[in-house]
Amino acid sequence: MKHGAVARRFFRARAASAAGHRRAGVGKLSRVDSGFFPIINTVPALDRAAVQEESLRIGPSAFPAATASHCSPLSPSPMKLVIVEDQPIIRESLRRICTGEFGHEVVGEAACAEDAVAVTLACKPEVVLLDVGLPDGSGLTVAARVQPALPTVRFLIMSGFVDDYTVYRAEKLGVHGFIDKNTSPSEALQSALTALAAGRTWFSPSVQAIRHTRHADPKSFAKVLSDTEQQVLALIGSGLDDDEIGRKFGITRATAQTHRSHILCKLAIKSTPKLVAFSIAHGFVRAGSP
């Protein structure tokens, strides 16, 4: 049996397992990104056919265009990839698919954020397949640390975390693709790598739907909260009080209280419990962690 068929069977099994966990209500707040277990479904109800079409031909108006590449996944000169994924079985599946079926060269692998930065800087790949939820931090932080040294490297995010704040941070970083692992990840991976090899970008329909909704909302957090306020919101969602937030930022308790009051006012939220719920629903709790 081909590696791709094996991987697809594995993905379907993981998706079925994830559905069982969701029905049982297991680990919605503390689970790290296993790749196939969504935390909260925040995808709005849009015209999915239109979003699918848009995601397959997305251009620079939505996300920065990728650097052009003169190879294709099946060419004699494949792209050089680094795979960043903390689960060994998923990392192995990705390596086999990318090399055995798509014809790329995997030049490095990492299972945590610190190793990901070191491996990427050392191997200088063309594309990094980057998981978001890593044991020692966010994959998006890896991209932010690597970009200044290797500005031509393209980042393809692969995550089961498809929430508003994660998508927003990915957009700000200018990543070149975002695969929602909750929906046919092996097929999406082939489409995404083909697009990146041709100098295009590729984003799953669910990612496009979230982005569309946020851009259409004049009162979205991205438009009304400063970067500092977004960081404070993440800490509030994590359950920190004003004293703890003050110590995190090196500010006084009174200043932390002021930030909390401004956030409540700007988001038109009436209480801290509701603010915590907002933080969780929009992905600030996990994405805001170190």
Q: Tell me: pLDDT of 10 over 50.
A: no
**Domain ranges, residue 251:** 221-287
Q: Answer yes or no: do 183 and 275 share one domain.
A: no
Confidence band, pLDDT 50/70/90 cuts, at residue 160? confident
Q: Tell me: pLDDT of 13 over 70.
A: no
Using one digit for the tens of pLDDT, what is the confidence trace for 105-117? Answer: 999 999 999 999 9
Q: Answer yes or no: do 57 and 163 share one domain.
A: yes
Q: Answer yes or no: do 203 and 174 share one domain.
A: yes
Q: Answer yes or no: do 167 and 277 share one domain.
A: no
Q: Answer yes or no: do 57 and 162 share one domain.
A: yes
Query: What mean pLDDT do residues 236-248 have?
Result: 94
pTM: 0.71
Query: What mean pLDDT do residues 52-60 have?
Result: 39
Question: Which range among 54-68, 163-177, 222-236, 241-255 shows the weakest confidence by mean pLDDT?
Answer: 54-68
CATH number of 92's domain: 3.40.50.2300
Task: Report the pLDDT value the prediction gives residue 186, as an integer from 0 to 100.
Answer: 82
Using one digit for the tens of pLDDT, what is the confidence trace for 84-104? Answer: 999 999 999 999 999 999 999
Query: What mean pLDDT do residues 32-60 have?
Result: 38
- Is residue 257 included in any domain, yes or no? yes
Question: Which range among 27-41, 151-165, 185-199, 220-234 shows the weakest confidence by mean pLDDT?
Answer: 27-41
Q: Answer yes or no: do 207 and 242 share one domain.
A: no
Whole-number percent of the chain with pLDDT over 70:
72
Q: Tell me: pLDDT of 53 over 90.
A: no
Domains in the chain: how many in total? Answer: 2
Q: Answer yes or no: do 191 and 236 share one domain.
A: no
CATH number of 257's domain: 1.10.10.10
- Is residue 24 included in any domain, yes or no? no
Q: Tell me: pLDDT of 22 over 80.
A: no
Query: What mean pLDDT do residues 150-175 have?
Result: 94
Q: Answer yes or no: do 126 and 174 share one domain.
A: yes
The alpha carbon of 285 is separated from its chain's Cα centroid by a whole number of angstroms, namely 14
Higher-pLDDT residue of 15 and 111 is 111
Q: Answer yes or no: do 233 and 205 share one domain.
A: no
Task: Report the pLDDT value the prediction gives residue 109, as an integer from 0 to 100.
Answer: 98
Task: Report the pLDDT value the prediction gives residue 23, as an integer from 0 to 100.
Answer: 41
- Is residue 7 included in any domain, yes or no? no
Task: Report the pLDDT value the prediction gives residue 284, as an integer from 0 to 100.
Answer: 92
Higher-pLDDT residue of 112 and 36 is 112
Give strand pairing partners of 158.
131, 179
Confidence band, pLDDT 50/70/90 cuts, at residue 183? confident
